[in-house]
């Protein structure tokens, strides 16, 4: 019903999602936190499918932040095991639906089975031309900016260019998001009003939609409600209509 009300000419190119509320969802049901993360994986599957149907070209999800290492070890490594399971179960369908999987963040320090799953997902889907499904994993916005700055400093030291050559496009080109449009819409589930170190460079003119719905309950219909809210906004980018 919501889909019929969406303006097909104003579908956001890039949607980014902070998937918050898995732990609270599990706690409300007296379940272990990992059960919430597992339910969240099921919700993610449906959002990826609906993104493709709607014609969204880029979907980025915040799966694991650089700060999430502070959580209990059992939960952290349980999340990585769920990642491996997700790839094993879903990679064929993602590939059949022409979805390309990208991983943003420093995944070199993840457990070896998680690294192998990541390589498989990217290798299997690398030639696909449909939805770009970007998973931010061991990702932090500040760390991403630091990585870009260090890259530029190294090139300056080598004499590749001068300090005066640095501009926004140069910094952007050293980000994980190089070549990807900034998110038009950032959705946060779970009712919290903060970015939590997510895409802080790219979010300069993104529209924000926050919902109290916990991530495992974030259905495709809720997704379309958020997009409908986005379509009601007047995006002026600092200017006038």
Pairing verdict, β 58-65 and 14-18: parallel
How far apart, in Å, are the Cα atoms of 148 and each of 101, 155, 169, 172? Answer: 22, 11, 11, 8
**Residue showing tokens 């990642």:** 83
The answer to whether 68 is a known catalytic residue is yes
Separation CA 53–CA 130 (nearest Å): 10
Residue 167 annotated among the catalytic residues of the structure: no
Length in residues, the chain: 241
Query: Which residue of the set 7, 38, 68, 164 is catalytic?
Result: 68
CA distance 144 to 135: 14
Query: Which of 7, 9, 20, 95 is flagged as catalytic?
Result: 20
Instruction: Round to whole Å and give the CA distance between 92 and 70.
Output: 33
d(C-alpha 224, C-alpha 207), whole Å:
15
CA nearest 12: which of 51, 69, 48? 51
CB 125 within 8 A of CB 93: no
Q: In this structure, how many other beta carbons lie within 10 angstroms of the beta carbon of residue 69?
A: 11
Q: Mind telling me the catalytic residues?
A: 20, 68
């Amino acid at each position: 019903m919501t889909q019929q009300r969406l303006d097909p000419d104003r579908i956001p190119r890039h949607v980014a999602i902070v998937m918050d509320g898995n732990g609270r969802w599990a706690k409300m049901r007296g379940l272990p936190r990992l059960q919430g993360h597992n339910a969240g994986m099921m919700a993610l599957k449906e959002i990826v499918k609906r993104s493709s149907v709607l014609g969204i070209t880029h979907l980025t999800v915040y799966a694991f932040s650089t700060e999430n290492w502070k959580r209990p070890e059992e939960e952290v490594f349980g999340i990585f095991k769920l990642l491996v399971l997700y790839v094993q179960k879903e990679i064929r369908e993602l590939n059949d639906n022409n979805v390309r999987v990208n991983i943003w963040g420093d995944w070199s320090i993840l457990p070896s089975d998680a690294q192998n799953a990541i390589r498989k997902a990217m290798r299997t889907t690398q030639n696909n031309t449909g939805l770009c499904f970007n998973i931010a994993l061991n990702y932090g916005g500040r760390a991403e900016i630091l990585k870009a700055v260090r890259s530029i400093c190294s090139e300056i030291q080598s004499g590749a260019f001068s300090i005066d050559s640095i501009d926004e496009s140069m910094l952007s080109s050293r980000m994980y998001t190089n070549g990807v449009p900034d998110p038009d819409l950032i959705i946060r589930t779970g009712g919290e009003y903060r970015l939590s170190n997510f895409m802080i460079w790219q979010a300069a003119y993104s529209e924000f939609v926050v919902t109290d719905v916990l991530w495992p309950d974030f259905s495709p219909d809720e997704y379309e409600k958020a997009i409908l809210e986005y379509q009601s906004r007047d995006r002026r980018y600092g200017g006038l209509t």
